[in-house]
Amino acid sequence: MRFLKYAIILFVAAICFLSCEKDDFCTQNPVTPNLVLRFYDNTTLTEFKEVKRFTMSTGGITLFSDIATDSIAIPLNTIAEETIFTLTRNETDSEDNTGDETATLTVKYTSENEYISRSCGFRVIFNNVTFEATGWIDRLSVTEVESIKNQANAHVNIFH
Amino acid sequence: MRTLTFSIKVFIFLFAVNLQAQKTSKKETPKDSVVYKTGYGLRLGIDLSKPGLSFIDKSYTGFEIVGDYRVSKNWYVAAEIGHEEEITFEDFTTSTSKGNYIRLGANLNTYNNWLDMNNEIYIGGRYGFAIFEHTLNEFTPNISTGSTDTPIIFPNQTITTPVSESGLTAHWFEFQIGIKVETFKNLFIGFHGAYKIGLSIDDQENFKTLYTPGFNRVFESNTGFGFNYTISYLIPFVNK
């Protein structure tokens, strides 16, 4: 009986400590990585340069509008093979849009579904990514990226 | 002198007789306890919880046969074999696991029975083995932004083409605590709870096994829980 008592205590303790599982809620967000862009000054090449009155849209959907930033994280279309972004900036006006300049960033890739966990399901990673830019974007730091699997660092630096 | 020798001889004789008498009296004293015999044999039964659960839960079907064989006063060799099919619904995936399993091991009865009662409170250990098929029925890629303020701007697509892989195996150790009560002569009702530790559980390609027959839900740390509720019949071979 003494043995049984210890066995029960061990059993209950095991259940208490080992049943607390972290796989019920997906705490990893976002699971599918965003595309991270950073904006640099085209003359110094090392300093960040904010884009003034920055508006970004794709396929008629506006991601954000009229902000000043040097760093953005944007989603890619997972069911298509390319996403074309329209980037609008205005460095001359403070109110109206007469000084708007536009640029396009075309991102092409092949998407792949990768399993993460019970609660998070599958995420999409992007392979063989290529970038193409026109308009006020002078230069991109890279035009080809092997894969986008996380968003810890910038994938492309944009010089303008 | 003669009388003295005689009296010594008589004394020794009496002493010897006395010893003899003591010995015999010891032998003849009846024991104050009776040995109650209980049946040794093969006990076979079924798990009632699995057909019951199949009836309530449409995404589950299962069947389990249990058996044990008593090898000594407190030790039983025990096994369970069964078949299970379970559909697991998660936020982003739906998967089916289907297959057969066997669990082999022993139970140690820790309960001291009164008289001729034959009940058990036991602890048991098992080695479990399953061969199963795992199917990813459908999944929706998780493109959530992680914040309710940021809407998802691109459309999503649920992939409904099932991907299946059969011949997957699982091995695990199991620790059980249970009771068995003799309700009618040789008819037992039993219950056990189990904690399982997976040794190796195969996953299908680009997915994970979320449920294993005989192991139940596979938690992230490769552990699991189980229980059964059995009715079993003892076929006694001998009474010891």
Over residues B105-148, the pLDDT tens digits come to 999 999 988 888 889 999 999 999 999 999 999 999 998 887 77
Element (H, E) at B206: none
- Of the two residues B17 and A149, the one the predictor is more confident about is A149
Q: Is the pLDDT of residue B4 over 60?
A: no
Closest chain A residue to B219 measured between Cα atoms? A21
Q: Which of A23, A25, A77, A123 to mutate to test the interface with B (most CBs of B within 10 A)?
A: A23
Instruction: Specify the pLDDT at position A17.
Output: 58
3-state secondary structure of B21: helix
Instruction: Specify the pLDDT at position B37.
Output: 81
Q: Cα A45 to the chain's mean position, in Å?
A: 23
Element (H, E) at B51: helix B49-56
Q: Is the pLDDT of residue B55 over 80?
A: yes
Closest chain A residue to B154 measured between Cα atoms? A77
Instruction: Specify the pLDDT at position B236.
Output: 87
DSSP 8-class letter at A79: T
Query: Could you report the per-residue pLDDT of B188-218, keeping only the tens digit for each?
Result: 999 999 999 999 999 999 999 999 999 999 9
Instruction: Return the amino acid letter for B6.
Output: F
| B161 reaches A (C-beta below 8 A) | no
- Of the two residues B76 and B8, the one the predictor is more confident about is B76
Q: Which of A124, A121, A143 is nearest to A81 (CA)?
A: A124
β-bridge partners, B193: B177, B227
Residues B116, B121, B127, B129: is their CA dihedral positive or negative? positive
Residue recorded with tokens 């607390």 = A20
| B61 reaches A (C-beta below 8 A) | no
What is the Cα–Cα distance from A129 to A112, expressed in whole angstroms?
12
- Of the two residues A99 and B69, the one the predictor is more confident about is B69
pLDDT-flagged residues of chain A (< 50)? none
Instruction: Specify the pLDDT at position A16.
Output: 59
Label residue B2 by pLDDT band (50, 70, 90): low
Number of residues written out for chain B? 240
What is the Cα–Cα distance from A129 to B198, expressed in whole angstroms?
40
| B7 reaches A (C-beta below 8 A) | no
Q: Nearest C-alpha of chain B: how many angstroms from A68? A: 18
Label residue B29 by pLDDT band (50, 70, 90): low
Among A72-76, B59-63, B165-169, the range scoring the smallest mean pLDDT is A72-76
ipTM score of complex: 0.78
Instruction: Specify the pLDDT at position B167.
Output: 94
Q: Which of A3, A1, A7, A22 is nearest to B195 (CA)?
A: A7
| B155 reaches A (C-beta below 8 A) | yes
3-state secondary structure of B200: strand
Instruction: Return the amino acid letter for B228.
Output: N
Instruction: Specify the pLDDT at position A3.
Output: 65
Q: Which of B208, B214, B210 is nearest to B194 (CA)?
A: B214
Q: Is the pLDDT of residue B43 over 90?
A: yes
- Of the two residues A45 and B87, the one the predictor is more confident about is B87
Q: Which of B138, B140, B143, B161 to mutate to test the interface with A (most CBs of A within 10 A)?
A: B143
CB distance B240 to B201 below 8 Å: no
Neighbours of B99 (CB within 10 A): 22
Is-cis flag, bond preceding A75, omega within 30?
A: no
How much is the average pLDDT of B12-17?
Answer: 52
Q: Which of B108, B204, B208, B126 is nearest to B171 (CA)?
A: B126
Instruction: Specify the pLDDT at position B7.
Output: 59
Q: Is the pLDDT of residue B13 over 80?
A: no
Instruction: Return the amino acid letter for A154.
Output: A
DSSP 8-class letter at B22: H
Q: Is the pLDDT of residue B231 over 90?
A: yes
What is the Cα–Cα distance from A18 to A154, expressed in whole angstroms?
39
Contacts of B175 in chain A (CB under 8 A): 11, 14
Instruction: Specify the pLDDT at position A59.
Output: 86
Instruction: Specify the pLDDT at position A99.
Output: 81
Q: Which of B75, B86, B91, B92 to mutate to test the interface with A (most CBs of A within 10 A)?
A: B92
Residue recorded with tokens 């199991």 = B174
Distances (CA, A) of B185 to A141, B42, B73, B77, B228: 84, 14, 18, 21, 22
φ, ψ of residue B55 to 5 degrees: the values are -70, -40
3-state secondary structure of B87: strand
Q: Nearest C-alpha of chain A: how many angstroms from B114? A: 14
What is the Cα–Cα distance from A156 to A153, expressed in whole angstroms?
9
What is the Cα–Cα distance from A49 to A160, expressed in whole angstroms?
8
What is the Cα–Cα distance from B1 to B8, expressed in whole angstroms?
11
What is the Cα–Cα distance from B111 to A3, expressed in whole angstroms?
10
C-alpha atoms less than 13 angstroms from C-alpha of B131 in its C-beta half-sphere = 2
